[in-house]
Amino acid sequence: IIEKQLTFQTPKIENAGQYQRIISDDMFSIVKPGYPEIPSKGIQILLPAGESIKSIKIVQQENSIIEGEFDVIPFQALLPMSFQGEIEFNEPNSAIYNSNEFFPQKQIVDTNTQYFRGHSIAMFNIYPIQYNPVTKKIQYSTNITILLETEITSASQRAFNSFYRSEAMTIKRIENIVSNPEYLSNYPQPVELRNETFDYIIITSDSYSNSFNDFVSFKLEQGFNVFLKTTNDIYSEYTGTDNQEKIRNFIIDAYQNMGAEYVLLGGDVNVVPHRGFWVNNFFEDYGIPSDLYYAALDRVGTGTGPDWNVNNNNKWGEASEADYLGEVYVGRISADTTTELIAALNKQIMYQDNPVIGDLDKALMVGEEMDNQTYGGDYKDEIITGGSFNGYYTEGIDSNMNIETLYDRDLNWNENQLLDLMNSGLNILNHLGHSHIDYNMKMDMSSVNNTNITANGTNHNFFIIYSQGCLPAAIDEDCIAEKFTTIDNGCVVYVGNSRYGWYQPGGTNACSQFFDRQFFDATFGEDIYTVGMMNADSKEDGAPQCSDATFRWGYYEVNVLGDPSLDVRTAVPQDMTAIYNPSIAVGVSNIQFQTDAPYARVALIQNNELIGNGVADVNGNVTATTFEPIAVTETISVSIIGHNKNRHSGEIVVEYQAYVILDSVEIDDSAGNNNNLPDFGETLGLNVRLQNVGTIEATDVSATISTDDDYVTITQASSNYNNIPSGGSSNAQTDYEVTIADNCPDGHTASFTVNVTSNEDNWELYFTLELNAPVIEFYSVFIDDGLNNVLDPDETADIYVSFMNSGGADAANVLTELFESDPYITLNTQAHTFTLLNAGNISTCIFNVTAASTTPIGHIASIDWEMNGDISYHAEGTLNLLISQASVNLEEDFSAGYPPAGWTRTGLNPNNWTGYPSNEAGGIAPESRLLSSPYFVGVSRLVSPVINTTGSTSIDLEFRQYLRTVSVNDYSVSVRTTSDGGDTWNTAWEAIPPTAPFYDELIQVTVSTPDVGSDNFQFAFVFDGISERIRRWCIDNIHLAGEQITYFGFIEGEISLDGGTGNVEDVIVTGGNYSASPNASGDYYLPLAVGTYDVVASLESYETMMEIDVVIAPNQTEIIDFELTYQPVSEDEETIVPAITTLSRNYPNPFNPTTTISYSLKENSKVSFNIYNLKGQLVKKLVDREKNAGVHTVVWNGKNESGRNVSSGIYFYKLKSDSFEQTKKMILLK
């Protein structure tokens, strides 16, 4: 559950002819033509890892009414920029404008989950402003609190498992997308397990591959590790329904296993085929060329078809199967010949490496007349100045830029004037106007040549074009954008539409303008500088609007023709400040750099090969990592690039030196609980082991540790190491000593600095300790009254109170006390002492209580509890006891008048609900009818009386219905519930569309919406849509009943251990969601709700025992004893000899707490099988011995080497044999 408060500005009203227009900052208005132009805000909220959105509801808002009466303008249809017909005014939709109901009725719409690099993001549009066309009133809310419920789905798990990344640039991009970036702290920090990353991928043909040699060398010098793959190799090595899917599957592989960040498609669509997307709006098009197909790698939707066409209807890119957030940045060199390819690549290199400095601050805005009331200059002015237009804000172009304009609004310009400005020096050219496949900016394709365009990168700069025009980048044809980018001169990158651009006659509120504004806002407002990232960001800012077909059309069609990693210059570059060690030792693999360039990219080149790289954080700091430890003494060339910075070139001398690094840190907590973990209140000895990876001995080595952590006190800070030989390691002669505070939070990470000195050099090293503490919370309460497991008035009963220690440390000698904090409850026993509350376990104690005879039925008694244990441990809270459940029973047959007592009719045309002496629903006359006339569009309800459902979690509803239809489209019939008087509604049952033109039937449904359990519960029969689509809806014989008692039974027994040194108190007995641990004598007691369970007893290094299909009856006790046999390694070996060695996926995944992993060996081998956390630290060794050829399984129970339960998160399992090594990821979710 995520609760989020959203704030909005008070809307403003502007005149729009005879109408008024609603304007609100940071909101966007795109609705169906003829509907009231009501702005909405697209919201993107980061969800928990591996989860997707289940439901969203508004839980709090306060509406205000704007004084006055208003005629809100109907939204005017967007038109293709090539539209030639008469522009007609979209009149108000009569059904909406004649409806006496606030529009839109649903404030939250278009809900879906998208995924970006393994992060789940909920997308939806919210309408804080509503309009009643009949009363002409506008209501709005400046604060709305929403509640999001999430769930684990296969899609969300697949996205997290397959695509999760969390490095600096990913974090920055998510921070720009979501409204709750603080939630990123709930995602784990990944560990990089690959030795070498190929972050730049080129896909091209065999015949083109050699033409990329100079470009590849250039990108290597920039710090990109380039991997070139030919289409022939891809087609033979990868599977797919067609060549496009094979290419996409290769890109997925490159992203997952090579670290791909940028992808360059090297050739036109005859070389690297495009994917055509389907959209049906003003036109229906099955083939909109979109390289988003190669960028967005998640699978969205369900079905048997390929990604982006999961329902197999060949309408690629339908809204239900679209992935709007790309994992990689894609560009294309759309060249037909080798000559064109070389020309285009030369421009990419020269613009980035040797621009014409005097032209970098020059921009040109080009606007044409669209119709007699619409001018491109008005659109372009919004980009120049920036500001809030049409409800949303974008930054303008920096004031240091010198901007010229060519506007038909101001003068009738021609091609020659444009060419003069192109040839006198430009950096950015931005255009809106009429275009076609072979026509753009009043230029025919024949005019695009080196004779007319003379800027050759030496006399004047190459420039970037962004055009909103129709079809200039239709890469499935020989288009003019291809011509611009593949001649020797002029345009280096073209960003434009592969199909029709969209504009708003008489206004600027259009999707193509949105993308254009956001493209330049990316670099001037959000510090995003590479053209691929700018294009991605320009779309993602509006991704929730993609439910609108026109917006989705525009989203798909904007492609980048050029290097996606090209940094768009926006000022005269300055020299970079870079600080790093001028010499390093052989054996080093990490080199630290400090720069004044955020997100600078570092390249380390030795012997003309890239040997390492790194990307800086927002502060310009980076640790560049070599692909392998440096093995030779040749000098390393350093190349660092950054936005608006001259490339820094330098050298690092490699010498035979001593070079000391941190080897390991061992914990000695023998003075505490001796579990080798840093727990609260303990004094630890730390053996900090150092290693000399240099080539000469380090002499007279000593070190001092320090920390500024508030929860750690260092009592022994220094130690000596004497001499450490080359390649050797040394323990501290005297352990360091630290004391952890009693009040340290569980999971807190304490950071330490180790300052090492020697006769040869000094080093600063770092390590962290994750500190553990108990976190004890109330878990459950079970009432044993010998009857119905419910505490009734004037009854005395034992209550079994369970507490869970979800922390990482045990709590010892914990006095647990209850306090008489409720006037109706008497505590007959109040205290219990737990000898030990084990980390990760649930423990139960028994108290005796009496409920007063005057206790109201349905009263929830609150009892305060408090815990105090060793090491000053303290916890407190409140538990609730329900005193009998309220009776739920309602029957209605409409025989006693209409509407029946307590029933109400709300929404549109309430008098359409009427009693009628018929029995079409199958009951006995009379019955309730909803008539279609007078016609309405929207929601109409028949609402039940208020019902007290306190104590119930679900209630049963049955009714008879008859629905006489005209159509099965444009409406729904449903049962919805509320607990706030009708401010919010939750759906309990819905039929969309009805399954037959007319029918009568008995409907039976279990209602378990969030409203059940409230003393203010109501349900309603709801029609939502166009009423004339039906004749009538008849309802009869309503019966609502709640199950009053959740009965419990019991399992008890004795646990014994056969062999080993395990502790019987660490055994966990589980049945469903209930669990317990035995006492020191092995006795356990497990209350369970009535049902059938598989009961499992487990302990690390012991055989897991299970009793299946145990039936729990009310107030009955089942006796089950378990004997667990010592079993050091949980493996099952088979004698089948497989053909290859493989590592399979773990099952289940996610898991809690046990998962099984299979692997096969083709030959006898020494095997190590280990579990690692995200920091790359060893968590658990599962196998470390010789294994025979065959299929094996290994079980991990979620515990570390010390037998402690590990926390939820991502873990890696790694299989290594004599000839095989592979690592895979799994998720522990508690």
pLDDT digits (tens, 9 = 90+) for 529-583: 999 999 999 999 899 999 999 999 999 999 999 999 999 999 999 999 999 999 9
Evaluate whether residue 329 is within a structural domain. no
Residues 231 and 255 occupy one common structural domain:
yes
Q: Quick one: pLDDT band at residue 888, thresholds 50, 70, 90?
A: confident
Residues 1154 and 1025 occupy one common structural domain:
no
Evaluate whether residue 986 is within a structural domain. yes
Which of 375-384, 767-776, 1062-1071 has the largest mean confidence?
Answer: 375-384
Residues 277 and 179 occupy one common structural domain:
no
Cα–Cα distance, 953 to 1050 (Å, whole number): 21
Would you give the distance in Å from CA 778 to the centre of its chain?
30
Does pLDDT of 881 surpass 80? yes
Does pLDDT of 1089 surpass 80? no
Instruction: Give the lowest-confidence range in 404-408, 421-425, 608-612, 1060-1064.
Output: 1060-1064
Evaluate whether residue 334 is within a structural domain. no
Q: What is the pLDDT of residues 160-173, one digit of tens each?
A: 988 999 888 899 89
Q: What is the pLDDT of residues 181-227, one digit of tens each?
A: 998 988 886 655 455 689 999 999 999 999 999 999 999 999 999 99
- Percent of the chain at pLDDT above 70? 94
CATH classification of the domain holding 1191: 2.60.40.4070
Instruction: Give the lowest-confidence range in 44-53, 479-488, 980-989.
Output: 980-989
Residues 721 and 741 occupy one common structural domain:
yes
Q: What is the pLDDT of residues 920-937, one digit of tens each?
A: 998 899 999 999 988 888
Provide the residue type at 40 as one letter. Answer: S
CATH classification of the domain holding 1077: 2.60.40.1120
Residue scoring higher pLDDT (491 or 88)? 491
Q: Can you give the pLDDT at residue 1190?
A: 75
Residues 493 and 452 occupy one common structural domain:
yes
Q: Can you give the pLDDT at residue 518?
A: 97
Does pLDDT of 286 surpass 50? yes
Does pLDDT of 33 surpass 80? yes
CATH classification of the domain holding 122: 2.60.40.3800
Closest of 29, 53, 32 to residue 40, by C-alpha: 29
Residues 1095 and 1157 occupy one common structural domain:
no
CATH classification of the domain holding 878: 2.60.40.10
Does pLDDT of 1044 surpass 70? no
CATH classification of the domain holding 215: 3.40.50.10390
Q: Can you give the pLDDT at residue 1012?
A: 86
- Percent of the chain at pLDDT above 90? 64
Q: Can you give the pLDDT at residue 344?
A: 99
Q: What is the pLDDT of residues 133-164, one digit of tens each?
A: 999 999 999 999 999 999 988 889 889 988 99
Residues 386 and 508 occupy one common structural domain:
yes
Q: Can you give the pLDDT at residue 1207?
A: 67
State how far the alpha carbon of 6 is from the alpha carbons of 37, 107, 145, 181, 811, in Å. Answer: 21, 13, 6, 14, 40
Q: Can you give the pLDDT at residue 1148?
A: 67
Taking CA 729 as the corner, what is the angle to CA 723 and CA 731, rounded to the nearest 5 degrees? Answer: 80
Residues 262 and 347 occupy one common structural domain:
no
Instruction: Give the lowest-confidence range in 804-818, 1014-1028, 1059-1073, 1174-1188.
Output: 1174-1188
Q: What is the pLDDT of residues 326-371, one digit of tens each?
A: 999 999 999 999 999 999 999 999 999 999 999 999 999 999 999 9
Burial class of residue 62 in the structure, from the number of CB atoms within 10 Å of its CB (0-12 exposed, 13-18 middle, 19+ buried) = exposed
Among 702, 732, 764, residue at a domain's last position: 764
Residues 650 and 664 occupy one common structural domain:
no
Q: Which residues, 6+ apart, have CB-to-CB distance to 445 below 8 Å?
A: 438, 439, 480, 483
Cα–Cα distance, 976 to 1021 (Å, whole number): 7
CATH classification of the domain holding 1012: 2.60.120.200
Among 764, 792, 820, residue at a domain's last position: 764
Residues 381 and 509 occupy one common structural domain:
yes
Q: What is the pLDDT of residues 1186-1226, one digit of tens each?
A: 888 777 778 787 887 766 677 666 677 888 888 777 777 77
Cα–Cα distance, 784 to 846 (Å, whole number): 10
Does pLDDT of 1046 surpass 70? no
Residue 384: other Cβ atoms inside 10 A: 17
Does pLDDT of 1100 surpass 80? no
Cα–Cα distance, 203 to 212 (Å, whole number): 10
Of the chain, the end-to-end C-alpha distance in Å amounts to 15
Residues 1037 and 1052 occupy one common structural domain:
no
Q: Can you give the pLDDT at residue 188?
A: 80
Among 509, 528, 561, residue at a domain's last position: 561
CB 1026 within 8 A of CB 95: yes
Residue scoring higher pLDDT (693 or 403)? 403
- What is the average pLDDT across 1152-1180? 79
Backbone angles phi, psi at 313, to 5 degrees: -100, 5
Evaluate whether residue 273 is within a structural domain. yes
Q: Can you give the pLDDT at residue 1045?
A: 47
CB 875 within 8 A of CB 867: yes
Q: Can you give the pLDDT at residue 1140?
A: 63
Evaluate whether residue 570 is within a structural domain. no
Evaluate whether residue 770 is within a structural domain. no
Evaluate whether residue 1207 is within a structural domain. yes
Domain count for the chain: 9
Peptide bond into 934 cis (omega under 30): yes
Residues 508 and 438 occupy one common structural domain:
yes
- Gyration radius of the chain over CA positions: 35
Residue scoring higher pLDDT (1111 or 841)? 1111
Provide the residue type at 340 as one letter. Answer: E
Evaluate whether residue 571 is within a structural domain. no
pTM of the entire predicted model: 0.67
Q: Which domain holds residue 995?
A: 889-1042
